[in-house]
Amino acid sequence: MKNKKIIISGLILLVFYGICWYLIGFMNVEVNKTFWALLPSLIAIVLALVTKEVYSSLFIGILTGALFWGQFHPVAVLNHVFKDGIVAVISDSRNVGILVFLVILGMMVQLMNKTGGSLAFGRWASSHIKGEVGAQLSTILLGVMIFIDDYFNCLTVGSVMRPVTDKQKISREKLAYLIDATAAPVCIIAPISSWAAAVSGFVEGENGMSLFIKAIPFNFYAILTLLAMVLIVTLKISFGPMKSYENEAKKDEYWSKKEYVGAEDTSLDVNHDGKVVDMLIPIFLLIFLCTVGMIYTGGFFKGESFIDAFAGSDASVGLVLGSASALMITIIYYVLRGVITFEDCMDCLPEGFKQMVPAILILTFAWSLKAMTDNLGAKEYVAGIVTGSAAGLQSLLPCIIFLIAIGLSFATGTSWGTFGILIPIVVNCFQNTDYDLMIIAISACMAGAVCGDHCSPISDTTIMSSAGAVCVHINHVSTQLPYALLVAAVSFVAYIVAGFTKSAVISLPVGIALMVIVLIILRSGSKEK
């Protein structure tokens, strides 16, 4: 069945490329800054969902963008794929910093596994965290506590809670959803986070951090995602593809799958005498030193205030500095404590690197795909749509921007890129006309960007949530999508109310009430079935 889908998809693509070759190569159809600019991302997303092959789907998306840009000339296409695409994104200093951070986190996780710290925590959690509900609520709590950065959140929560949720036979797909739903949604409503710094940096002519804080009550998608997640866990609500995976997880056959066997271990032996402190100390070091690293890059030690330092921080560099420092201190701590030898620590480093290779490969392809759409003028195309539709739609603009942000973030796989496109447009539209509506529209932009990022299979946060849970990536995407779309639908209604009332006191309770009612109906329907 899978091979049949791949063959059919390949034939459809060949026909599509033939039509495009005729239109672009011979008829000189304009591609730049038109709907064509979004097609490479859309093709990659559809292929990933149909064929379940992420790597090939992303590469075909990259190739499609290069074919459009190079007008089907072979040399120009190859140059654009590799020189302007893959090589360029890997050479970008920010991207390199994120990759280094991922590698260091993989090494830290491997060290914690080797010392037996993760195993000891699993034993401790098994005796203190009772039942499926307790394990899932503990995962949510840990995710909320790690609000500094979504990358850090995804991988840390996954490595810490995976042994606990596995013991309770909670599917990896459900764990990946819990991780993903407490990564970006938490960061986007936390004033002290890399996301707050990014958003405030896109605002010109206003105090970015002040606007960010004022927009928090209107960030319906983030708030309702956290609420929905708690209700889904406590009321034991399950629907869509997630339900079948949760049922499968109760059987031994699920855990015997090759992608899950050995997920916690490598060829290295684990120290069964490790203690919980061997895991907690490295995690606390990571949190503390990553925070210090971020405010250091923002000039905190040169006189800037804590908030201003976060707003002006370089998250990529700060996370690398913090995680590298934490790694070195952790190795020294383990050696001095005698829990493992220095040679064992060194053996853990390449093993940790290998664990992150799939995530690194997907991220590299996702960044390259974004570069293709940027070169084709996707940003300008979307910006023109927003600017052209702003007049005469004042009260409905927040819900419209919410939908546009979802589409753009889903197609490009980036929240921050969506912020950079839409927030300056929103500020320019309302800066001197309606300040309250500007705040609501900014929050709608942030919420929509997070929602699209949450749903997109080419999003870096989605990718790392799969990596943190050690879950098949496309399984995570397909199981999470109905949950995310449900919250998005309720958020859309809340933004309609907010656009007319301009009050969070009215619109937020409406959204909360509607979310609760919908989930109770779903629970009742599920029980009847």
The reported pLDDT for the residue numbered 206 is: 61
Report CA 151 to chain centroid distance, whole Å. 8
Q: Write the pLDDT tens digit of every residue in 350-375.
A: 888 887 787 678 778 877 887 888 88
Residue 465: closest CA among 212, 176, 232: 176
Q: Is residue 330 scored above 70 in pLDDT?
A: yes
Q: Which residues contact 494 (CB under 8 A, 6 or more apart)?
A: 220, 224, 507, 508, 510, 511, 514
Q: Write the pLDDT tens digit of every residue in 201-245.
A: 566 556 566 677 788 888 899 999 999 999 998 988 888 888 888
Q: Write the pLDDT tens digit of every residue in 102-160.
A: 788 778 878 887 887 777 776 777 677 778 888 888 888 888 877 766 766 776 787 77
Q: Is residue 333 scored above 60 in pLDDT?
A: yes
**What three-state secondary structure class fits 385?**
helix
Residue, of 509 and 197, whose pLDDT is higher: 509
The reported pLDDT for the residue numbered 271 is: 63
Q: How many CA atoms lie within 13 A of 473 on its CB side?
A: 26
The reported pLDDT for the residue numbered 131 is: 81
Cα separation, 31 vs 383, in Å, equals: 16
Measure Cα distances from 167 to 130, 271, 423 in Å.
Answer: 11, 19, 44
| C-beta atoms surrounding 375 within 10 Å | 17
Which phi and psi (to 5°) does residue 259 adopt? -75, -15
Q: Is residue 389 scored above 60 in pLDDT?
A: no
Which phi and psi (to 5°) does residue 411 adopt? -75, -35
Q: Write the pLDDT tens digit of every residue in 30-78.
A: 778 888 887 887 788 777 767 767 678 888 888 888 888 888 888 888 8
Q: Is residue 297 scored above 70 in pLDDT?
A: yes
Which phi and psi (to 5°) does residue 356 adopt? -95, -5
Judge residue 283's burial from the number of C-beta atoms within 10 Å of its C-beta, 0-12 exposed, 13-18 middle, 19 or more buried. Answer: buried
Residue, of 299 and 490, whose pLDDT is higher: 490
Measure Cα distances from 225 to 39, 90, 145, 279, 294 in Å.
Answer: 29, 33, 16, 29, 27
**Start-to-end C-alpha separation, the chain:** 28
The reported pLDDT for the residue numbered 135 is: 86
Q: Is residue 192 scored above 50 in pLDDT?
A: yes
Q: Is residue 268 scored above 50 in pLDDT?
A: no
Measure Cα distances from 390 to 215, 324, 360, 385, 400 in Å.
Answer: 20, 46, 39, 9, 9
What whole-number percentage of the chain has pLDDT above 70? Answer: 82
Residue type, 430: F
Banded pLDDT at 263 (limits 50, 70, 90): very low
The reported pLDDT for the residue numbered 369 is: 80
Residue 500: closest CA among 408, 418, 400, 398: 398
| Residue 31 tokens, joined | 């591609």
The reported pLDDT for the residue numbered 226 is: 92
The reported pLDDT for the residue numbered 282 is: 86
| Average pLDDT score over the chain | 80
The reported pLDDT for the residue numbered 262 is: 46
Of 466-475, 486-495, 520-529, minimum mean pLDDT range: 520-529
In this prediction, residues 236-258 reach a mean pLDDT of 81
